[in-house]
A and B are shown apart, each in its own frame.
Chain A
Amino acid sequence: MEEKDMYTRSVERAIDILECFLDADELLLYEIAKKTDLSSSTVLRIINSLQKRGYINRDTESKKYRLGGTFQSFVERVDRLNEEIKKASSQIMGDLFGKYNENVRLFVLDGKFRLCIDLFETTQDVRQIIHVGDRRNLDKGATSRLFLAYMTPKQREQLAPNLEIEENALADIVSDGYALSTDSNESGIIAISAPIINQRGKMVAAISLSGPAFRFINKEMTNKIRDTVAAARQISENLGHR
């Protein structure tokens, strides 16, 4: 094996180990080895490095590992970015929700996913449930298409390599200033999603208004689109976009 490949492999293994803690607070060495399919000695070697840098801590009594304090600084930094967007959006999301009593959500891009960072949920009986913190793939839905449309082709290639979406369709989304779901019959859900643009002209988040198709395919639809686009524009202005 080439030396370069070996280094990459170590990094990937380290990430695999860290990701074990996405669904567990504390783990024993052998549990991590089992989850990652690595030998205990390999896990120990990597964990020692991670421990040295504060990414993982070990409770000397229970011998269990947990995420280290270094992560806290990352979380705060990520939160600070999102917090600014949330602050700029909250009132406007509330107004949009108040008008239609349909789900209003705020998404940011999170690696290969879109992450819900804020929401107002309809009080109507038929509703789709998403929680703050839920991550969705980029292959489906209006908001995914919106994020893809605003990416450079290179980013798109990296984040969503196997998608079959026509360039034309994505160009249309940018010129229209909103995206709609294309799978409404399959999912039963229609979403309208519009881009939130920051001071530097970069799309940083998306606001969506969504609900069951039977409540959306009617005369109000064009108003819903207009209001969602207007809400996104207002939030963008709050963020300093001109």
Chain B
Amino acid sequence: MEDIIVRNLKLNTEEPKICNAVIGETREAIIQETKILSELEVDLFEWRADNYKDISSKKETLETMVHLQRAAKNKPVIFSIRNNKSGGSYPFSVEARARACQWAIESGSIDLVELEVSFGKRIIDSLIAAARERNVKTIVSFYDYEKTPEQKQLIAALDECESYGADLSKLAVMAKTKRDILNLLVSMWKMENSSDEKPRIVVAMGPQGNISRILPSFFGSVLTYASGITMSLEGQINPNDLRTILSLTK
């Protein structure tokens, strides 16, 4: 598998990295959380911009990105804007989300931008092209907050993510049973043996999914999400504990 290098960070399954989501509503909250987390065992950040109250203003959003990059202390920042189907709280339109991603790409302050499969081919293609021009890395993602699809569908979903030629793919599904975990594990293992494999992020959400956060490399994932200081999801572990666990499970 080819490594993706962002700033000084190598993304690969040999040494999965620890990512923290930043979800503040105000610039002040976003910056403070990032500053605190950057002193902990966090390798990179994901700014979940859908919670940001000024996300409809380009000027405010760009300004926040500049501050965010500074607060992240040279650690890479992923930009994402979710809607209520991908874990966000608000029903943003695809257009609004695509617009925000475009700002992120143009900002010069963001290292990676996450584009959801649900944006549609036209938008994804044009955003990937724009990102490439500016040396911003892209992630194409698939979410299922309801369930873990069957193996065939999981593989099809990942295939679709990878078909756009982005730098990384991301698969996040809700695991409710051990069978769900096994389905995800087997599908990812099958994908590992397919040709021209691209780096990916794999997360089983929910309390059952905890194992995917602890053993990201088993699931073929180059990173794992830790709990933050303002929010933690079920199954998430704080970054320092996660670092210890990762060093024990190498």
A residues in contact (CB < 8 Å) with B: 169, 172, 176, 180-182, 184-185, 213-214, 217-219, 221-222, 225
Contact = CB atoms under 8 A, between A and B. Distances in A.
B50 interface: no
Given A176-B35, A184-B39, A221 B241 contact: no
A225 B28 CA distance: 14
Nearest to B71: A172
Interface string B161-191: 0000000000000000000000000000000
Q: Which of A184, A214, A217, A225 has the most CB of B within 10 A?
A: A217
B9 interface: no
B229 A217 contact: yes
A225 B229 CA distance: 12
A14 to B, nearest CB: 43
Nearest to A183: B39
Interface of B: 32-33, 35-36, 39-41, 73, 227, 229-232, 238-241, 243-244
30 contacts: A169-B73, A172-B35, A180-B36, A180-B39, A181-B39, A184-B39, A184-B40, A185-B41, A185-B240, A185-B243, A185-B244, A213-B40, A213-B238, A213-B240, A214-B238, A214-B240, A214-B241, A217-B238, A217-B240, A218-B232, A218-B238, A219-B230, A219-B231, A221-B36, A222-B33, A222-B36, A222-B229, A222-B230, A225-B32, A225-B36
Contacts of A225: 32, 36
Contacts of A218: 229, 232, 238
A9 to B, nearest CB: 43
Given A218-B229, A219-B232, A222-B33, 18 more contacts: A172-B35, A180-B36, A182-B39, A184-B39, A184-B41, A184-B240, A213-B238, A214-B240, A214-B241, A217-B40, A217-B238, A217-B240, A218-B238, A219-B229, A219-B231, A221-B229, A222-B230, A225-B32
Contacts of B244: 185
Contacts, number: 44
A52 B225 CA distance: 69
Nearest to B244: A185
Contacts of A169: 73
A221 B37 CA distance: 10
Contacts of B240: 184-185, 213-214, 217
A213 B229 CA distance: 12
Nearest to A218: B229
B81 to A, nearest CB: 24
Contacts of A219: 229-232
Contact of B239 (A172, A181, A182, A217): A217
Contacts of B32: 222, 225
Contacts of A172: 35
A213 B37 CA distance: 12
B34 to A, nearest CB: 12
